[in-house]
Chains A and B, each alone.
Chain A
Amino acid sequence: MLPLNATITQITEESSLIRTFFFDHRFEDMEPGQFVMVWVRGVDEVPMGLSRKNSITVQKVGEATSKLFELKEGDSFGLRGPFGKGFTLPAKGEKVLIIAGGVGAAPLSPYAEAAFAAGAEVNTVLGARSAEHLLFEGRFEALGKVYVSTDDGSKGIKGFVTDALKNLNVAAYDRIAVCGPEIMMVSVFRFLEEKKVLDKAEFSLHRYFKCGIGVCGACCIDQSGLRVCKDGPVFSGVQLIGSEFGKYSRDASGRRVKI
C-alpha cells in the first residue's frame, strides 16, 4: 500500500501540546485502537492511533511531531493503514471501563463511542498532568460517567488514574480498555492483576516501529516475540504477564532501554 495523500481540513488545539488534525479521508473500516503510519514528507514516518475515522490526535514529542505541528489547514501528509489489532468491541448490555492517561485518550475515544453504539454502558477514568491537558473529556462525558484525576489536582482527584480507580468496583466491568504512558499503564496493570480482572483488560502498547506491517521485527516484545505493530498494538492483560511491558523497550537500533 502506497501512502495515501491526506489533506488537512481542520486543526483543533486540544491543549498547548496536543492537536487534532482532521483530514479529507475517512477510514470507514477502522477498528478503534488501530493506528496509521503518518508520513511527514522529507522528515519521518511515525505511528499514530486514529482518534476518529478521519482524525489523528498528536502530542508534540519529537522531530516528526514538531514538523507536523508546523503544518496548516490545506497542507497534506501521507497515510498508510489502518494497521494492527484494535480493542475488542463489547456485546450489548456489557459494562466497559475506559482508563485513559494523557494523549492515550486519543485511540480510546473512538472505542468508547463504538462500545456505546454497540449498546454497552461506558464509564471512563481520565487522567492527565493538569486540567488543561485532559483530552476529550466532553466526548467521554457524552457516553457515561467520567472520573477525573490530575497530577496537580487542578481537576478531579489529585494523583494518578490508579487513585481514581481505587474508588471503583472494577470487578463490576466486563471489559477494561487502557491506554496511556507505559508507567501509568503498568501501575493500572498491577492494580487490575491484584483485583484478579486482568483477563478482562486490554492495553495499547507503544514501541519503536520501522516497517509498521509486521515484517521487520523491530517492535517485537519479550518473551512472546509478538509484534506490537501487527499482533498488537492492543494486547490482552493475560498476554502481557511476565513480558517486557513496564520494564524495558528497544530503541531504533534494537538496544534495550529501561521504561
Chain B
Amino acid sequence: MQKLPAGRKRSYLMYTLTGLKLKNPAILAAGVLGTTGASLCRVAREGGAGAVVTKSIGPAPKTGHPNPSMIKLDCGFLNAMGLPNPSYPGFLQELEFAKNNSDVPVIASIFGGTPSEFAEVAEGLLPAKPDAFELNVSCPHAEGYGAAIGSNPCLVEAVTAAVKDVVNVPVWVKLTPNVADITCTGNAAESGGADAVVAINTVKGMAIDIESGYPILGNRSGGLSGKAVKPVAVKCVYDLYTALEIPVIGVGGVSSWEDAVEMMMAGASAVQVGSAVYDRVDIFSEIGSGIEAFLKRKGYSDIKKIIGLAHEMV
C-alpha cells in the first residue's frame, strides 16, 4: 500500500480513466444539465461529480422536438429532446466557461450525420480544450443521427476513426442498447481507436395518453432512462467488459451508490448519472462517499478491486 503524507486522508476513489484524473467515479451523463457552462460547473462543484459530459453538440443549431420532451413514469423517465444544441460555434463559450470554472475533467459530447461532420464538430470545439470527447452514436430519436449511425458497426468504426484522426485527447463512444448485440458496435468502436465505450444510451420507448389517444412525447416516441433500464445496462456492460480491451463506462438507471457498485462489478470503470439528478443535484457526492464507505467496510484497498468482480465469481 502506498504511503501517504502524515495527516492526509487516503482517497480510495482517486484514479485515472483514459488518462483523466477522477476524484469520484460518478460522472454527469450527456444531455443532463449540460446545456450551459454554468450548469456544468454547478454539477461539478455543488454536485461533486468526478467529471462532467456536455449536452451533445452538432454542426448546426437545432431546436429539438416539440414538448412534451420528457415525462416521469413510475419506472423511470421517457424523453425525446431531439438533440437541441446551439452548434459548435455557439457552444464554444459555454465549454470554455466550464473548463475555466470547474476543477474536474470536462468531456464534450458531439454528434453528426457523417464521419466528416463528427470530425468537423470535434475540431471546432478543440479551441476550448475539452479533456475528452464522447461520440453520441446512440440517441434513439433523432433522424439521421445518433442510433441511425450507432446501429451500423462500419459507421461506428468510421466515425470513431475520423474523430481520433483530428484530436489528441481521449475519445469515448457512447453505444445504443437498441441493437441485437452491443458487443458488435463496441468492437467496432475499439477497432476505430476508441479509448473507452460508454453504455448505454436510452432504450426505445413510448407512452400514450389514454384520455385522448395521443402519444405523449412531442416526437411521439423516445428513449427510456432511470430505474427501469438498469438491468439492461448491467447486462450490456457485463458483455462489453468481456468482449473489449478498452474500459467500459456504465450508464443507465444509476441512482445510488449500490447501483454504481453493481455497475462496476459488471465491469464498468466508472459510472455516469443522468435522470437521477431529478431527485438531487448532489447525487454524485452521495454515490462517491457511499462507494468509499463500502470499499472500507469490505476491506477493498482501492476501487479497481471491484471493477469486473462479477466475472470472477463463477
- Digitize B50-67: 1 where CB-to-A-CB distance is under 8 Å, 0 elsewhere: 000001000001111011
Using known A-B contacts A217-B34, A223-B38, A254-B55, determine if residue A5 contacts B212 with beta carbons closer than 8 Å.
yes
Selected contact of A220 from candidates B33, B66, B73, B79, CB within 8 Å: B33
Stretch at the interface among B16-24, B81-89, B180-188, B197-205: B81-89
Q: Which of A2, A80, A224, A256 has most B Cβ within 10 Å?
A: A2
Selected contact of A225 from candidates B41, B68, B84, CB within 8 Å: B41
- Residue B300 is within 8 A (CB to CB) of chain A in the complex: no
- Residue A215 is within 8 A (CB to CB) of chain B in the complex: yes
Chain B residues with CB under 8 Å of A78's CB are 68, 209, 212, 216
Instruction: Tell me the chain A residues, 1-16 only, with Cβ under 8 Å from chain B.
Output: 1-3, 5
- Residue A76 is within 8 A (CB to CB) of chain B in the complex: yes
- Digitize A211-223: 1 where CB-to-B-CB distance is under 8 Å, 0 elsewhere: 1111111101111
Chain A residues with CB under 8 Å of B64's CB are 210, 252-253
Chain B residues with CB under 8 Å of A1's CB are 71-72
Give the size of the chain A interface in residues (CB under 8 angstroms).
40
Across the two chains, which residue of chain B brings its CB closest to A222?
B38
Interface residues on B, range: 35 or more
- Residue B31 is within 8 A (CB to CB) of chain A in the complex: yes
B68 touches A213 (CB 8 A): no
**Cα-based distance from A5 to B209 in the complex (angstroms):** 9
- Residue B142 is within 8 A (CB to CB) of chain A in the complex: no
Chain B residues with CB under 8 Å of A227's CB are 33, 39
Across the two chains, which residue of chain B brings its CB closest to A255?
B86
What is the minimal beta-carbon distance from B293 to any residue of chain A, in angstroms? Answer: 27
Chain A residues with CB under 8 Å of B66's CB are 43-45
- Residue A56 is within 8 A (CB to CB) of chain B in the complex: no
- Residue B231 is within 8 A (CB to CB) of chain A in the complex: no
What is the minimal beta-carbon distance from B103 to any residue of chain A, in angstroms? Answer: 15
**Cα-based distance from A209 to B38 in the complex (angstroms):** 17
Across the two chains, which residue of chain B brings its CB closest to A243?
B38
**Cα-based distance from A255 to B61 in the complex (angstroms):** 8
Selected contact of A217 from candidates B36, B69, B209, CB within 8 Å: B36
A216 touches B90 (CB 8 A): no
A250 touches B36 (CB 8 A): yes
**Cα-based distance from A256 to B89 in the complex (angstroms):** 12
A220 touches B32 (CB 8 A): no
Selected contact of B211 from candidates A76, A209, A224, CB within 8 Å: A76
Q: Which of A39, A211, A215, A218 has most B Cβ within 10 Å?
A: A215
Across the two chains, which residue of chain A brings its CB closest to B40?
A225
Chain A residues with CB under 8 Å of B41's CB are 225
B90 touches A253 (CB 8 A): yes
Across the two chains, which residue of chain A brings its CB closest to B225?
A215
Selected contact of A37 from candidates B33, B68, B214, B275, CB within 8 Å: B68
- Residue B244 is within 8 A (CB to CB) of chain A in the complex: no
- Residue B148 is within 8 A (CB to CB) of chain A in the complex: no
A254 touches B91 (CB 8 A): yes
Selected contact of A215 from candidates B33, B68, B211, CB within 8 Å: B33
**Cα-based distance from A23 to B66 in the complex (angstroms):** 24
**Cα-based distance from A87 to B58 in the complex (angstroms):** 38
- Residue A42 is within 8 A (CB to CB) of chain B in the complex: yes
Across the two chains, which residue of chain B brings its CB closest to A47?
B67
**Cα-based distance from A251 to B39 in the complex (angstroms):** 16
- Residue B218 is within 8 A (CB to CB) of chain A in the complex: yes
What is the minimal beta-carbon distance from B229 to any residue of chain A, in angstroms? Answer: 15
**Cα-based distance from A207 to B211 in the complex (angstroms):** 30
Q: Which of A5, A43, A80, A252 has most B Cβ within 10 Å?
A: A252
**Cα-based distance from A70 to B77 in the complex (angstroms):** 31
Using known A-B contacts A3-B216, A45-B67, A254-B36, determine if residue A215 contacts B77 with beta carbons closer than 8 Å.
yes
**Cα-based distance from A42 to B69 in the complex (angstroms):** 13
Across the two chains, which residue of chain A brings its CB closest to B275?
A215
B68 touches A39 (CB 8 A): yes
A42 touches B214 (CB 8 A): yes
- Residue B70 is within 8 A (CB to CB) of chain A in the complex: yes
- Residue A157 is within 8 A (CB to CB) of chain B in the complex: no
- Residue B35 is within 8 A (CB to CB) of chain A in the complex: yes
Chain B residues with CB under 8 Å of A72's CB are none
- Residue B228 is within 8 A (CB to CB) of chain A in the complex: no
Across the two chains, which residue of chain A brings its CB closest to B60?
A253
Chain B residues with CB under 8 Å of A225's CB are 33, 36, 38-43
Q: List 30 A-B contacts (CB under 8 A).
A: A2-B73, A2-B207, A2-B209, A2-B216, A3-B68, A5-B212, A37-B67, A37-B68, A39-B216, A41-B214, A44-B66, A45-B67, A45-B68, A78-B216, A80-B71, A210-B64, A214-B278, A215-B32, A217-B32, A218-B35, A222-B36, A225-B33, A225-B40, A225-B43, A252-B84, A253-B61, A253-B63, A254-B35, A254-B36, A254-B94
Given pairs A225-B39, A226-B42, A255-B61, 16 additional interface contacts (CB within 8 A): A2-B73, A76-B211, A210-B69, A215-B32, A215-B77, A215-B274, A215-B275, A215-B278, A216-B31, A216-B79, A220-B33, A220-B36, A220-B38, A223-B38, A225-B38, A225-B43
Q: Which residues of B are in contact with A by a Cβ distance under 8 Å?
A: 31-43, 55, 61-64, 66-73, 77, 79, 81, 84-87, 90-91, 94, 207, 209, 211-212, 214, 216, 218, 274-275, 277-278
6 nearest A-B residue pairs (beta carbon)? A225-B42, A45-B67, A211-B70, A217-B33, A252-B63, A5-B211
